[in-house]
């Protein structure tokens, strides 16, 4: 852990290419919606949203003129139906838009929509953002290569994302980690190692503690913790390899300390191998879908020449694979990284595992 500044420039939004657009339509990610991101910017005013401890959440609750509000509310209910139901109008009468929040912090400047079922007061959220090609690649890769499925829609310049439930990492580290048992801390350390490895393999950057959530899962007589990314803005953009490894962000220092205190080096190596193996299996099982995505990404522009040059150099130094030196697109770097993981998984024999003394459960 160091004070090195890992990210300096704001990432630009990249347009969706015709090939990526066709891919989204083929896999039912593209669907006509009744409202766009720009429509939500017509708010008349806003108030700051505070948390339960009166801290500024960096979100503001926006409000609209009476004329705009009726139209926007109806459109947001229709978006909810398209995203989470069959797209019909039958459920609209049972829905209420409780809040529209806007965040000016970060790249995506999202709107967060709170939707409540008036029959039972259950509520959920979804997000409306500006479309960005690298963010879409991030969402698709998360859907295929992580343990979790993602639900999102794209239409022209608007991206709709389903809410990912969990405890924000920074909140968990501050308020809940000190109360965890020693056994729970060891399990969290294991999960962080796997999360760290998964992010590096698929080049998902900027996983500071507020860009992922921790999800407690009750399993018989104990709680198992899972870590899920919630922000995919920094997919395949930055040049420094450290950006794609959560362990190097100071916001994750306490999680790194957990790993150091709770896990032996041999255990860390074992969990890294497990994660690489399971990602390789997901690459193989994703079939044509991930092949199509990788093919499109290889030709797309989602980073700068300077970042591509730096990242290909750093990954070559790590893997000694000469193919990385020839990369001219960031998508090609990603493609080779995934192929490297898959190829090495297929080449590893049981004899090699035994020789390395890596225990597999």
- Domains annotated for the chain, with CATH where assigned, are 16-160 (no CATH), 165-353 (1.10.1070)
Per DSSP bridges, beta strands 167-168 and 56-63 are unpaired
Assess contact for 17 and 142: CB atoms under 8 A.
no
pLDDT of residue 6: 77
What is the rounded distance in angstroms from the CA atom of residue 138 to the CA atom of residue 332? 15
Taking only the tens place, the pLDDT of each residue in 179-221 is: 999 999 999 999 999 999 999 999 999 999 999 999 999 888 8
Assess contact for 216 and 223: CB atoms under 8 A.
yes
Q: Residue 24 CB: number of other CB atoms within 10 A?
A: 20
What is the rounded distance in angstroms from the CA atom of residue 188 to the CA atom of residue 226? 8
What is the 8-class DSSP label of residue 115?
A: E
| Mean pLDDT, the chain, integer | 92
DSSP-H helix ranges across the chain:
18-26, 37-40, 66-84, 133-145, 169-171, 182-201, 253-262, 265-285, 287-299, 305-319, 330-347, 350-355
Helix axis angle for 18-26 and 287-299, nearest 10°, is: 160
Confidence tier at 345 by pLDDT (50, 70, 90): confident
Of the chain, the percentage scoring pLDDT greater than 90 comes to: 84
pLDDT of residue 1: 54
Quick one: average pLDDT of 7-15?
83
What is the rounded distance in angstroms from the CA atom of residue 277 to the CA atom of residue 289? 19
Q: Is 35 helix (H, G, I), strand (E, B) or coil?
A: coil
- Judged against a pLDDT cut of 70, whether residue 360 lies above it is answered with no
- Pick the more confident residue, 352 or 148: 148
Give 170's strand partners: none
- Judged against a pLDDT cut of 80, whether residue 288 lies above it is answered with yes
Assess contact for 167 and 214: CB atoms under 8 A.
yes
pLDDT of residue 361: 41
Q: Is 117 helix (H, G, I), strand (E, B) or coil?
A: strand
Backbone angles phi, psi at 224, to 5 degrees: -105, 135
pLDDT of residue 222: 86
Which of 75-79, 107-111, 268-272, 326-330 is the least confident region? 107-111
Taking only the tens place, the pLDDT of each residue in 229-262 is: 999 999 999 999 999 999 999 999 999 999 999 9
In which region does residue 109 sit, left (phi positive, over 0), alpha (psi from -120 to 50) or beta (all else)? left
| pTM as predicted | 0.91
Quick one: average pLDDT of 36-53?
94
What is the 8-class DSSP label of residue 110?
A: -
Quick one: average pLDDT of 62-72?
94
- Judged against a pLDDT cut of 60, whether residue 351 lies above it is answered with no
Given strand 111-117, what is the order of strands in its sheet? 45-50, 56-63, 95-103, 111-117, 123-130, 158-162, 152-155
Assess contact for 328 and 260: CB atoms under 8 A.
no
pLDDT of residue 2: 52
């Amino acid at each position: 852990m160091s004070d090195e500044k890992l990210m300096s420039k704001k990432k630009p939004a990249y347009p969706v290419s015709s090939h990526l657009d066709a891919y989204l339509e083929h896999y039912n990610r593209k669907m006509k919606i009744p409202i766009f991101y720009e429509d939500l910017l017509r708010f008349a005013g806003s108030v700051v949203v505070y948390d339960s401890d009166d801290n500024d959440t960096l979100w503001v609750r926006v409000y609209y003129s009476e004329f705009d509000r009726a139209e926007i509310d109806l459109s947001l209910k229709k978006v909810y139906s398209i995203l989470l139901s069959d797209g019909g109008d039958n459920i609209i009468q049972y829905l209420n838009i409780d809040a529209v929040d806007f965040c000016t912090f970060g790249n995506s400047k999202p709107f967060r929509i709170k939707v409540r079922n008036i029959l039972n007061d259950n509520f959920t959220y979804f997000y409306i953002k500006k479309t960005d090609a690298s963010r879409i690649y991030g969402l698709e890769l998360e859907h295929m290569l992580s343990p979790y499925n993602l639900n999102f829609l794209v239409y022209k310049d608007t991206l709709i994302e389903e809410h990912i439930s969990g405890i924000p990492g920074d909140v968990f580290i501050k308020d809940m980690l000190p109360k965890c048992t020693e056994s729970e801390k060891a399990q969290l350390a294991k999960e962080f190692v796997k999360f760290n490895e998964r992010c590096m393999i698929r080049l998902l950057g900027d996983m500071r503690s507020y860009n992922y959530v921790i999800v407690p899962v009750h399993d018989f007589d104990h709680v198992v913790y899972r870590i899920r990314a919630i922000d995919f803005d920094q997919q395949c953009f930055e040049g420094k390899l450290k950006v794609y490894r959560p362990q190097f962000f100071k916001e994750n220092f306490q999680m790194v300390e957990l790993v150091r205190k709770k896990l032996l080096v041999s255990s860390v190596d074992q969990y890294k191998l497990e994660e690489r193996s399971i990602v390789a299996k997901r690459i193989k099982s994703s079939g044509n879908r991930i092949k199509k995505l990788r093919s499109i990404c290889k030709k797309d522009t989602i980073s700068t020449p300077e970042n591509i040059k730096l990242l290909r150099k750093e990954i070559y130094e790590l893997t000694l694979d000469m193919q990385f030196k020839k990369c001219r697109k960031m998508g090609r770097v990603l493609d080779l990284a995934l192929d490297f993981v898959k190829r090495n998984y297929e080449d590893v024999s049981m004899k090699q595992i035994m020789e390395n003394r890596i225990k597999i459960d």
